[in-house]
Amino acid sequence: MTFKDGARALVTGAASGMGEATARYLLEHGVQVVAVDVNADGMSHLGCETLVADLGDPGDRAKVTERADGFDYLVNAAAIIQFKPIFEFTVEDWRRAFQVNAESTFFLCQTIGPRMRPGGAIVNFSSTSAKLSSTIEAAPYAATKTAILSVTRSFAYALADRPVRVNAIVPGITNTPMQERVLIDLAKIRGTTPEALSEARDKTVPFKRGASSDEAAAVIAFLLSEESGYITGENINFSGGMVMW
Ligand SMILES: NC(=O)c1ccc[n+]([C@@H]2O[C@H](COP(=O)([O-])OP(=O)(O)OC[C@H]3O[C@@H](n4cnc5c(N)ncnc54)[C@H](O)[C@@H]3O)[C@@H](O)[C@H]2O)c1
């Protein structure tokens, strides 16, 4: 993959899972990375500049954006997921999901995008839950991930003149710490075990397995790289065939 000379990337959610794998991939390929997460400890091993921030909080977000001039790449991986029977979600649950997932993605694109170097690229994180309705126990999360598809298209238009490209990855089952929590929480609600749930879910994937974070990082790297220079406003399913539209 070819990255811009002297490229600098801001990667959120860099303490864990796909954000961490993306930060590592970029660092290994000579890109300077500023890692952002609410979890300071999780970023300590990366060996790059780190910023600790709750991206669902406008004040914390401002501390990140005020230091974000001249980036080439922005990866918005930070997110939370919460499981409940759908009729038990509260307004606070809904708001927190939107603050951390959709609001942070929108406002990081809005504040950092226009100050990125021409030729830069942004990758946002949607989810197959934006396209399927099989996990209604995370309905607010799914709604945030649907919103992120729209936010991605809007900023692809808004930043096209710069030009900064804006695309989304749409992961299915990816084996990360979030996925481990998903299995535990969802199994409890459905009265099954994480192992049984995992087996049943893998059967719904044509490839019959979840992905690794490193496989995801390679797709994200492609969307940032010069090789995807004519792709913007796109969402790329990364789901082993679970979703094909
Ligand atoms: N793992 C999957 O199967 C899967 C599937 C579809 C979409 N996704 C999406 O992929 C992205 C990465 O997920 P992952 O599985 O690597 O998750 P993860 O939980 O392993 O990592 C998410 C990171 O975001 C950070 N974070 C959470 N709230 C934050 C906040 N308020 N401020 C700053 N950082 C915060 C966490 O500390 C964590 O380091 C997320 O957007 C997730 O919704 C994951």
Q: Identify the CATH number of the domain in which residue 70 sits.
A: 3.40.50.720
Which of 10, 11, 12, 16 to probe ligand 1 with, by most ligand atoms within 8 A of CB?
16
Question: pLDDT tens digits for the chain (245 residues)?
Answer: 999 999 999 999 999 999 999 999 999 999 999 999 999 999 999 999 999 999 999 999 999 999 999 999 999 999 999 999 999 999 999 999 999 999 999 999 999 999 999 999 999 999 999 999 889 999 999 999 999 999 999 999 999 999 999 999 999 999 999 999 999 999 999 999 999 999 999 999 999 999 999 999 999 999 999 999 999 999 999 999 999 99
- pLDDT at position 209: 98
Say if ligand 1 is within 6 A of residue 220 CB. Answer: no
Q: State yes or no: is 25 an active-site residue.
A: no
Report how far residue 14's alpha carbon sits from residue 11's, in angstroms, rounded to the nearest whole number.
6
Q: Is residue 44 part of a domain?
A: yes
What predicted TM-score, i.e. pTM, was given to this entire model?
0.98
Token reading at 93: 């649950």
Considering only CA atoms, give the Rg of the chain: 17
Q: Is residue 201 part of a domain?
A: no
Quick: pLDDT tens for 165-220. 999 999 999 999 999 999 999 999 999 999 999 999 999 999 999 999 999 999 99
3-state secondary structure of 125: strand
Q: Is residue 190 part of a domain?
A: no
Q: Is residue 138 part of a domain?
A: yes
Say if ligand 1 is within 6 A of residue 147 CB. Answer: no
- pLDDT at position 36: 98
Say if ligand 1 is within 6 A of residue 179 CB. Answer: yes
Sequential DSSP letters for 23-84:
HHHHHHTT-EEEEEES-HHHHTTS-SEEEE--TTSHHHHHHHHTT--S-SEEEE--------
Is residue 244 within a helix (H) or strand (E), and if so which, with residue range? none
Q: Is residue 1 part of a domain?
A: no
Say if ligand 1 is within 6 A of residue 125 CB. Answer: yes
What atom in ligand 1 is closest to the CA of residue 210?
3
Alpha carbon of 3 to ligand 1 centroid (Å): 24
Q: Is residue 196 part of a domain?
A: no
Which of 74, 95, 132, 178 to probe ligand 1 with, by most ligand atoms within 8 A of CB?
178
Say if ligand 1 is within 6 A of residue 54 CB. Answer: yes
DSSP 132: -
Structural domain boundaries enclosing 218: 8-172+212-238
Own/partner pairs, 197-203, CB within 8 angstroms, 24+ separation: 201/173, 202/173
- pLDDT at position 20: 98
Q: Is residue 182 part of a domain?
A: no
Alpha carbon of 104 to ligand 1 centroid (Å): 13
Domain count across the chain: 1
Alpha carbon of 204 to ligand 1 centroid (Å): 22
- pLDDT at position 134: 87
What atom in ligand 1 is closest to the CA of residue 181?
19
Q: Is residue 219 part of a domain?
A: yes
Alpha carbon of 12 to ligand 1 centroid (Å): 9
